Chains A and B, each alone.
Chain A
Amino acid sequence: MTFVDNRAVITGIGQSQIGRRIGRTGIDLALEAAETAVQHSGLSFDDIDGVASYPGPVAAEGGFVGATTHDVRDAFGLRTRWHASSVETSGQAGTLMDAAMAVATGRATHVLCFRSVWEATAQASGRAAALTGKAQRASGHGEFRMPFGAASPANWIGMYAQRYMHDFGLTREQIGKLVINARANAGRNPNAIYRKPMTMEEYLGARLISWPLGLYDCDVPCDGATALIVSRREDSAGLAKPPISLESAGSALYERHSWDQRADLTTMAAHDAAAAMWQGTRLTPADVDFATLYDGFSYLCAQWIEALGFCEHGKVGQFLDAPENYCQDGRLPINPHGGQLSAGRLHGYGFLHEACLQLWDEAGERQLPKDVATAAVGIGGGPEAGCLLLHRAE
């Protein structure tokens, strides 16, 4: 079973200005990223007949929803045959996978997919409702967490990390090596938020947020938008770039959408999605040249490493012990751009952008020092997970 009959490809990428408190709206950033991606692909806006985004117009504050699908299609006056957004999907890349389905089934030809955030500016300007600021009641998933002071994903993910550390001996120092490597990579990324190298002392000495997670285990809010063009393969010939194939994708969720009821607390939905992704391809983890893995919290990146089969279940600590495995010139470089931990919370799409940038040999100073043709991208945490295997044909 191949993903959308191998009919979907990525033909262009774009990113807006990225920074902390740059004072621009999420819509403005989304438009910049969209324009950049369309130009990058060699298409024009007249060719764009589909738009997809995450998360759509959900109730959220503090710059989480930078722009909706309609915001962007209306701003550019796009005549679309298909458009969608969803938060009830397989992580931030869920609707991008839907876009691949749309082009494969003829519902669109070239789909503009994007994610925009302006959390740094919005929070600085007081748009974020402080968690403590409202006396409203907690509903939905929050109903069973907020009354107990479990307000933040740092709490929910901290519990997963604690149980994994308990069962398998993973240490904060081992996770720290991953965080420090991300920071070293960010030093080669001119758009990264934090670029100064980090020492283990700094990592371990940072204030705790929700033990075992400290400040540097949490990503950094930023302003920025990312866009990708997903095209139907037969309509991608002659464009600016050799198309990047969506070789496989995983969107599986085999248990309830819950942060605390998963049968095995040492795994996450990433394990379901990754297993499904490998079922759709003849490639194996050994064929992957590099990976861009969600690190909204450091432990999530560690989960993706084992979920995708780059180490055995329970053995991620040993994997992390040897940074030469995953550093920039290692066997399996991870997050060459610095990830969300150091390059900023572009919320999922940053990993797709970096994967394509590397596959097209456009990563500048941080271009990996080897030929790269196949990338694994894992996005999401807890019950939210989607992953893709990208391949650039010669």
Chain B
Amino acid sequence: MPHQSGRILPEVTEESRPFWTGGFDNALRIHRCRSCGKWFHPPVGACFRCRSRDVGPEQTSGRARVAAYTVNHHPWFEAFPPPYVIAAVELEEQPDVRLTTCLVDCEVEQVQVGMAVEVAFDLQDDVALPFFRPVTA
């Protein structure tokens, strides 16, 4: 798990507030189009597929699968001592919606494409960062 200090936190916008604060209610909130029903990320005020403006955040299951990953070995941040795993995870609700995230509570050797993961919020200041960890049956 990354250290608690020396982080770079996100600058929360009106669009991204539900995403960054949902974790305080233990909810992973992703934007969804109310017209075509598709999810999308990052959050913005229109659906890039059907161009409807009728969009907004909805709670997801918080479950996802690893689509791609990298094992970072370089000390970019004091808060993230290497090695650590950065992954693009795809949502269970819709696999082509991905979040770049940090995998926690797992061994580096354990990670693979397709691995089932679930959100694990890391509360920092006014944001809840959606990290992911392996689903333990």
Q: Of A55-63, A136-144, A196-204, A380-388, which binds chain B?
A: A136-144
Question: Which residue of B88, B99, B100 has the most chain A CB atoms within 10 A of its CB atom?
Answer: B100
Please tell me if A239 contacts chain B, counting CB pairs below 8 Å.
no
Bound together, the chains give a CA A145 to CA B42 distance in angstroms of 11
Interface bits B98-133 vs A (CB < 8 Å: 1, else 0): 111110000000000100000000000001010100
Q: Of A9-17, A183-191, A206-214, A308-316, which binds chain B?
A: A206-214
Give the chain B neighbours of A166 by CB distance below 8 A. Answer: 68, 113
Contact A211 B71 (CB under 8 A): yes
Question: Which residue of B7, B67, B68 has the most chain A CB atoms within 10 A of its CB atom?
Answer: B68
Q: Name B53-81 residues within 8 Å CB distance of A.
A: 67-80
Which of A132, A149, A207 sits near B86, CB closer than 8 Å? A149
Which of B6, B11, B68 sits near A163, CB closer than 8 Å? B68
Contact B10 A146 (CB under 8 A): yes
Q: Name B1-59 residues within 8 Å CB distance of A.
A: 2, 6-11, 13, 16, 41-42, 48
Contact B9 A137 (CB under 8 A): yes
Assuming the contacts A139-B11, A145-B100, asked whether A208 and B48 have C-beta atoms less than 8 A apart, the reply is no
Contact A149 B11 (CB under 8 A): no
Which of B72, B98, B113 sits near A149, CB closer than 8 Å? B72
Contact A143 B16 (CB under 8 A): yes
Contact A159 B10 (CB under 8 A): no
Q: Name A207-256 residues within 8 Å CB distance of B.
A: 207-213, 256
Contact A159 B68 (CB under 8 A): yes
Contact A159 B86 (CB under 8 A): yes
Q: Of A107-115, A260-268, A366-374, which binds chain B?
A: A260-268
Bound together, the chains give a CA A224 to CA B62 distance in angstroms of 48
Contact B2 A149 (CB under 8 A): yes
Assuming the contacts A162-B68, A211-B71, asked whether A150 and B11 have C-beta atoms less than 8 A apart, the reply is no
Closest to B108 in A: A211
A304 to chain B, nearest CB (A): 19
Number of A-B pairs, beta carbon distance below 8 Å: 127
Contact A147 B69 (CB under 8 A): no
Bound together, the chains give a CA A135 to CA B98 distance in angstroms of 27
Bound together, the chains give a CA A243 to CA B70 distance in angstroms of 45
Which of A134, A146, A209 sits near B74, CB closer than 8 Å? A209
Give the chain B neighbours of A160 by CB distance below 8 A. Answer: 68
Contact B77 A148 (CB under 8 A): no
Please tell me if A151 contacts chain B, counting CB pairs below 8 Å.
yes
Please tell me if A158 contacts chain B, counting CB pairs below 8 Å.
yes
Give the chain A neighbours of B48 by CB distance below 8 A. Answer: 256
Closest to B131 in A: A148
Assuming the contacts A149-B102, A263-B96, asked whether A144 and B70 have C-beta atoms less than 8 A apart, the reply is no
Bound together, the chains give a CA A138 to CA B77 distance in angstroms of 13
Bound together, the chains give a CA A147 to CA B131 distance in angstroms of 10
Bound together, the chains give a CA A5 to CA B127 distance in angstroms of 53
Give 8 closest A-B pairs by Cβ, nearest first.
A158-B70, A149-B80, A163-B68, A137-B11, A151-B76, A211-B71, A139-B11, A159-B68
Q: List 20 A-B contacts (CB under 8 A).
A: A134-B8, A136-B8, A138-B8, A139-B11, A146-B8, A148-B102, A149-B2, A149-B86, A150-B100, A152-B74, A158-B72, A158-B86, A159-B86, A159-B100, A166-B113, A208-B71, A208-B73, A210-B71, A211-B72, A265-B88
